[in-house]
Chain A
Amino acid sequence: MYSPKMRLTEEERDILQGNRGEALRKVLESIVRFGDVFGADGLVDLDRGVHLVTSFGIPLLGPVFDIMDELIAAGLKTPKPFTVDPRPCDFRNVPVNPVEALVFKKVMYAKQDDYEAQLRAVGLKDGRAFTCACYFEEVGNIPSRGDMLAWAESSAVVYANSVLGARSNRNSGVLELMCGIAGKAPRFGFLTDEGRKASWVVELRTTALPEAQLLGSAIGMKVVEDVPYIKGLDRYLGAELDERAKDYLKDMGAASASNGAVGLYHVAGLTPEAKDEGESLVEPGAGVYVIDDEEIERVRAGYPMMWKDEGAKPTRCFIGCPHLSKAQLYGWLDRIEGSLAAAGRGRVAVPTVLTTAPDVEAAFRADSAASARLKATGATLSSICPLMYMNNPLCGKKPVITNSNKLRTYTKARYYTDAEIQAIVAGGKA
């Protein structure tokens, strides 16, 4: 039997001894070993359903599906319903050719239906719970400040920690499910007050609000997994976490989490803990990173060109990684219409997909006027994960453009700013 270093309750020790079944023993042992590596002093009860990163039935994860079978056979499921990252395919709204479809269905995500059945069996919230932004009001997995979580999707973890003031470590896929089933997580890192201190001060000295995706990228590359305390951003975003600020921070955080491994940031005068505790959150001796216009340009200039033909005409554009909020979705509808009108075009020059949560998608489609306007532009709406689409080697080779720094990082998609994307989809140049 594993000898834990952390303090456990009698019930937890009983489980670890295998007295509640072998599968539950392995679940708890995974969590306890994980916590022991990081010096956790014990386990805490979770306040919300977990959010899983693995939404795709990719056959290479066969050993993961075996674990799921073991959990199901033992009758284990999460006491609180959980949400999960977006589905990989939506052939109606993100059309593919027959060969690509074959690769998606028979090779890439051949286990999708089986895996979704496994997810339902272990506690999935419902069939619309597939989004990377489970914290949207329409989706409803919304933690409160101080809630203890065990989430995995990196963009959701950094949002929950930073914008909502909840507490989650950056858990690995599967481990978050183990925590969900046990209803517990090891207390260390971001779950503790000391783990939420900043070891970097980021001084924003740009002449205007930078693109969220570029600012996040710069911060992520510099601080990697450390906690930054960002000064100067409230000059542009204000002192209230309104929709605009939350959407900006969602995208900035996702870029910092994927271009580095940021799990928590504080924004002076804006995010909950920074508002209450101010610079007392900054550790003595913290590093200082100054970001001005030149630094933003330097970071962007360092992105590798992944297209074989740099001058290729884009064949698809993805907007919404992480998923667009409802406000962003309507905002992009206005932008696309505006740039098409300015260019004297009726429809987008590049097949363009806006991606959002299934619940937001449903709400948007229920707005028949907005739905008709989007249809008229030729752009489509989907709730897939663009990254999963790009994982298909046939699709991944294509010249795809995006305003997402996460998608750029993990695929060959080429990054453009929002304004550049607007221009390109209207037939112009960046």
Chain B
Amino acid sequence: MKRTFKGRVVVAGAASGEAVVSRRGFNILASFQRDLMAKKAVVRCSDQNNPDAFGQALSGKVLCLPKTIGSTTGGMVLQAAAALGKAPLALLFSEPIDSLAAGGVILAKVWNDRDIVTVDGLGEGFLAAVENGTSVAVQEDGTVTIETP
């Protein structure tokens, strides 16, 4: 079954991929640090306080979350991940984007010419409907379509 949601475009672009879902605040530093340090080709979430996403691949996925939390290094960790080609393809926020994530996607765009497609304000219904592994497609205008079994 297909369901469609509409949010605000923060970084425009089209993207499609598998969802990784964090139903709680997503800690960027705690999630990316271990595998970025280890120079893994694919970053898996290393935040043990986040059972929703822990162990899930983040690179090249569509990360669905309410907002990010934690250390204010978060934005630059996201920028570094993007510059290294290890960031998620897209960030889809059910709530308005927070300042750390916004900083990260903007730094990546301006300084590295890397677009992490970002849409916010998709609503609680979006986060309730999407699950790890769900196919997600994002359009330039902030329309998000998920395909559930």
CA distance A175 to B77 in the complex (A): 12
Contact B75 A64 (CB under 8 A): no
CA distance A329 to B33 in the complex (A): 31
Q: How large is the interface on B (under 10, 10 to 19, 20 to 34, 35 or more residues)?
A: 35 or more
Total A-B residue pairs with C-beta atoms closer than 8 Å? 121
Binary B-proximity of A158-196 (CB < 8 A = 1, otherwise 0): 000000000001111111000000000000010000000
The interface residues of chain B lying within 8 Å CB-to-CB of A174 are 75-76, 79, 103, 107
The interface residues of chain A lying within 8 Å CB-to-CB of B83 are 62-63, 66
Contact B29 A175 (CB under 8 A): no
Contact B70 A258 (CB under 8 A): yes
Known: A175-B107, A258-B71. A64 touches B102 (CB 8 A): no
The interface residues of chain A lying within 8 Å CB-to-CB of B19 are none
Known: A33-B106, A173-B75. A63 touches B84 (CB 8 A): yes
The interface residues of chain A lying within 8 Å CB-to-CB of B75 are 172-175
The interface residues of chain B lying within 8 Å CB-to-CB of A60 are 33, 36-37, 77, 80
Contact B72 A38 (CB under 8 A): no
The interface residues of chain A lying within 8 Å CB-to-CB of B49 are 304, 409
**B48 proximal to A (CB < 8 A):** yes
The interface residues of chain B lying within 8 Å CB-to-CB of A175 are 75, 103, 106-107
CB distance from B118 to the nearest CB of A (A): 9
**B112 proximal to A (CB < 8 A):** yes
Binary B-proximity of A50-76 (CB < 8 A = 1, otherwise 0): 000110001111111011001000000
**B10 proximal to A (CB < 8 A):** yes
**A361 proximal to B (CB < 8 A):** no
Contact B110 A154 (CB under 8 A): no
Contact A172 B103 (CB under 8 A): yes
Choose among B67, B104, B110, B112 the residue with the greatest number of A CB atoms under 10 Å from its CB. Answer: B110
Contact B109 A61 (CB under 8 A): no
**Minimal Cβ-Cβ distance residue in B for A29:** B110
Contact B73 A173 (CB under 8 A): yes
**A260 proximal to B (CB < 8 A):** yes
The interface residues of chain B lying within 8 Å CB-to-CB of A33 are 106, 109-110
**A337 proximal to B (CB < 8 A):** no
The interface residues of chain B lying within 8 Å CB-to-CB of A26 are 110-111
Known: A63-B83, A261-B98, A410-B29. A172 touches B37 (CB 8 A): no
The interface residues of chain B lying within 8 Å CB-to-CB of A225 are 67, 69, 98
Q: How large is the interface on A (under 10, 10 to 19, 20 to 34, 35 or more residues)?
A: 35 or more
CB distance from B37 to the nearest CB of A (A): 5
Q: Which of B30, B84, B110 contacts A410 (CB 8 A)?
A: B30
**Minimal Cβ-Cβ distance residue in B for A55:** B73
CB distance from B146 to the nearest CB of A (A): 24
Contact B76 A172 (CB under 8 A): yes
Contact A30 B110 (CB under 8 A): yes
**B55 proximal to A (CB < 8 A):** no
CB distance from B3 to the nearest CB of A (A): 26
**B99 proximal to A (CB < 8 A):** yes
Contact A37 B97 (CB under 8 A): yes
Q: Which of B67, B80, B102, B103 contacts A61 (CB 8 A)?
A: B80
The interface residues of chain B lying within 8 Å CB-to-CB of A136 are none
CA distance A59 to B69 in the complex (A): 23
**Minimal Cβ-Cβ distance residue in A for B79:** A63
Contact B48 A306 (CB under 8 A): yes
Contact A61 B72 (CB under 8 A): no
Contact A154 B71 (CB under 8 A): yes
CA distance A54 to B103 in the complex (A): 14
CB distance from B77 to the nearest CB of A (A): 8
Which chain A residues have a beta carbon within 8 Å of chain B's beta carbons? Answer: 26, 29-30, 33-34, 37-38, 53-54, 58-64, 66-67, 70, 107-108, 152-154, 157, 169-175, 189, 224-225, 258, 260-261, 304, 306, 391, 409-410
Q: Can you give 7 contacting A-B residue pairs, CB < 8 Å?
A: A30-B107, A54-B76, A59-B37, A172-B74, A172-B103, A173-B75, A261-B67
